[in-house]
Structure 1
Amino acid sequence: MSDLLNEKWPKVTVIIVNWNGERFLDRCLSALLAQTVAPHEIIVVDNASSDGSLDLVRRFPSVRLLAQDRNLGFARGNNLAIEEAAAESEWIALLNPDAFVEPRWLEALLSATRDYPAFEVFASKLVSAADPAVLDGAGDAYHVSGLVWRRGHGAPVASVSEQVREEFSPCAAAALYQRRILVEAGGFDEDYFCYLEDLDLGFRLRLAGYRCLYVSASVAHHVGSGTTSGQHSDFAVYHGHRNLVWTYVKNMPWLLFWAFLPLHLAMNLVTLTVFTWRGQGLTMLRAKRDALKGIPKMWWKRRSIQSSRIATVREIWRLMDKSIIPIRRINICDYRNKCRR
């Protein structure tokens, strides 16, 4: 891609937070370097990988490597890269190492920023890397109970509308954000470490008056749980269900908070029961215990978030999912596969 052709597009920094993702990184980075619109820069934050990730990234001289001596987590890793990104980059694209973008991925996102200037956040279409005919996600849905899932996860791609549409939040496995609003929001909440940190950020951005658009033409093939110990690991269950409580406490506007608190408590009781039956009751108890211990700090954060809220309760309510929750969605780790442990 010539410099002349790239001049018509705003500058984008693509950020990848990696932990032991060597087996995916070559394909991930090669796909990024084959884009019809080249990113201004690519940053890989390596969270103290013990595999060959560092050597692999160094084979790509145009990729900027931020190697860490300890695991910062997904939230802090992204925040660090946002701070370090080139000053001229107006946009930040987030990508998982186990997400392989199609050639027009970035061009489609940047085209959407021009065609839909009322939006500041853009979600990609995620398809299964194992079977591209199956949808991995089309933006993130937030249920009034506080449960979260990827829209359309597991559905045939052909059954999902190709129209762009407003979505509650993007999945950070492949998403584009206006850099200014990320800085304004303070980035990801580092207390989360990983899991639901992108939904929390998306919720806070929405409360601040910013909007998310799902762009079906921007496609990434996603493995899911590619660099973690698995969808049902104690690590994933713990962080997912602890952070689920914190997200509700911090972000739900007062009217919705009190109206759906009984449903939120009931949902937590049901998930505790389900995971106890699966043999992970102690993990869930620890997650809920630590969620409760963290509520004073989250409540303090809530005061700042809600005092600066721009979006109306009606606007937030309009975009929340209000459907009856299927049992398959009780397991948060079935559809929140983005943790970088």
Structure 2
Amino acid sequence: MSPLVTVVVVNWNGLSLLRRCLPAVLVQRGVPYEVIVVDNGSHDGSPEWLQRLSATLAASPRAPSLRILAGKQNVGFAAGNNLAIREAEAPFVATLNNDAMPEPGWLAALVAAAESDPGVGSCASQMVFASSPDVVNSAGIAIDRAGIAWDREVGSVRHRPDPPTEVFGASAGAALYRRAMLEDVGLFAESFFMYLEDVDLAWRARLRHWKCTYAPAAVVRHLHSASAQEGSRFKLWHLGRNKLTVIARCLPGPQLLRYGGAIIGYDLAATLLALTARHDSSGLRGRWAALRRWRELAIERRHIQSRRTAAWDDVSAWIEPVPTPAMVWRRFRHLREVLAGV
């Protein structure tokens, strides 16, 4: 039977993570699927372990197939996923972090949510903290008119397996994408390398009238920032660069002018906070790297905006208002408290 879903896992020196992730993937039931692991030039024994696992699965007629795409260098999360998506032929593609362990029924719940409406281009999982599985890590992507994106419902009590609800976008750490949507709006932007590539894709999908639903029955346990440590300079640099890149590429012109003051104000505040409180210029340097690409960004923006079919009212229904400074501070403090407690 041809696979309905291709599950993609991108790995770089994550053997200890793969040993937990893949066994949880390979016991999924209810839908025919295959697994593609993209190894980004690991040197920790991951390629050898994957080859042995693939041979074991090939000897079992009931096991899903495991394909390995082995690269010589780390091309990043975005490009790694794209390699597998281009290789796959299934109608749906599920992306999964190597530090995430799906619970039984995860894949079937995502597919059921997607098949309920042909206009659904992506589905978000309920990601819970592996160390505190009763606490939500992400219930999809939320975004406001100041250009700030965050994980919905982070820190809340684990949700019941209620029917799916519509949200702005899906976290690519555990998401399902309809191939027709990816063919329409394009794959992950490889220039992002990693971080916020899913926000960029969610924006492009919304601009083309594709919906995203959140399936609380599709649960994944996530080792938060296990692949790239929380607060690392690497992560802060990419977040700084990619945040400006998303805004420059995706926010329509009238809204960019209308909310530009709030976007600049909050971004300056975040940069100054990092410089003064953390004595870290990584985010500033990342933003400067984005600004230096203004010519390329202008070309990318023209292409994305020229293909927009959705009215702003349809898109804005899923975008939060410009927050007050107190709201942003409470959100930031809440996140720190949640991460400190898991």
Same-fold status (TM-score > 0.5) = yes
Indicate the residue corresponding to 1:326 in structure 2.
328
Deviations 1:281-312 (A, max 9, x none): 42222112111111221121111111110111
1:26 equivalent in alignment to 2:19:
yes
In 1: Cα distance, 2:284 partner to 2:113 partner: 43
In 2: Cα distance, 1:319 partner to 1:193 partner: 26
Say whether the 8 Å CA contact 2:239–2:283 is kept in structure 1: no
Indicate the residue corresponding to 2:207 in structure 1.
207
Question: Which is worse superposed, 58-67 or 95-104?
Answer: 58-67
- SS state of the match for residue 127, structure 2? strand
Say whether the 8 Å CA contact 1:21–1:226 is kept in structure 2: no
Shift of residue 321 of structure 1?
A: 1.6
Say whether the 8 Å CA contact 1:109–1:176 is kept in structure 2: yes
Indicate how the Cα distance of structure 1 residues 300 and 154 shifts in structure 2: closer, same or farther if over 3 A, else same: same
- SS state of the match for residue 244, structure 1? helix
Deviations 1:259-293 (A, max 9, x none): 10000100111011110123344222211211111
Say whether the 8 Å CA contact 1:95–1:175 is kept in structure 2: yes
Shift of residue 163 of structure 1?
A: 4.2
Say whether the 8 Å CA contact 1:26–1:56 is kept in structure 2: no
Structure 1 segments of 4+ aligned residues over 4 angstroms from their partners:
328-331
- SS state of the match for residue 120, structure 1? strand
Measured on the aligned residues, the alpha-carbon RMSD in Å equals 2.1
Indicate the residue corresponding to 2:41 in structure 1.
48
Unaligned runs of 5+ in 1: none
Shift of residue 147 of structure 1?
A: 0.8
Say whether the 8 Å CA contact 1:122–1:215 is kept in structure 2: yes
Say whether the 8 Å CA contact 2:140–2:170 is kept in structure 1: yes
Please show how residues 1-341 of structure 1 align to structure 2 within 5 Å.
11-61=4-54, 62-85=65-88, 87=89, 89-157=90-158, 162-228=162-228, 230-322=229-321, 323-324=323-324, 325-327=327-329, 329=331
Question: Which is worse superposed, 36-45 or 239-248?
Answer: 36-45
- SS state of the match for residue 278, structure 2? coil
In 2: Cα distance, 1:271 partner to 1:253 partner: 23
Percentage of identical aligned residues:
36
In 2: Cα distance, 1:174 partner to 1:270 partner: 31
Deviations 1:114-134 (A, max 9, x none): 323331211111011101110
In 1: Cα distance, 2:241 partner to 2:285 partner: 8
Say whether the 8 Å CA contact 1:149–1:329 is kept in structure 2: no
Count of aligned positions: 324
Say whether the 8 Å CA contact 1:246–1:295 is kept in structure 2: no
In 2: Cα distance, 1:329 partner to 1:233 partner: 20
- SS state of the match for residue 226, structure 1? coil
Say whether the 8 Å CA contact 1:14–1:39 is kept in structure 2: no
Amino acid at match of 1:81: A
In 2: Cα distance, 1:207 partner to 1:223 partner: 32
Amino acid at match of 1:72: V
Say whether the 8 Å CA contact 2:238–2:283 is kept in structure 1: no
Amino acid at match of 1:190: E
In 2: Cα distance, 1:278 partner to 1:294 partner: 28
In 2: Cα distance, 1:29 partner to 1:166 partner: 29
In 1: Cα distance, 2:177 partner to 2:197 partner: 14
Say whether the 8 Å CA contact 2:4–2:31 is kept in structure 1: no
Indicate how the Cα distance of structure 1 residues 185 and 114 shifts in structure 2: closer, same or farther if over 3 A, else same: closer
In 2: Cα distance, 1:264 partner to 1:43 partner: 38
Deviations 1:166-208 (A, max 9, x none): 1111000111111122133220111111110011011101101
Say whether the 8 Å CA contact 2:121–2:205 is kept in structure 1: no
In 2: Cα distance, 1:245 partner to 1:334 partner: 23
In 2: Cα distance, 1:22 partner to 1:38 partner: 27
Say whether the 8 Å CA contact 1:253–1:306 is kept in structure 2: yes
Say whether the 8 Å CA contact 2:240–2:284 is kept in structure 1: no
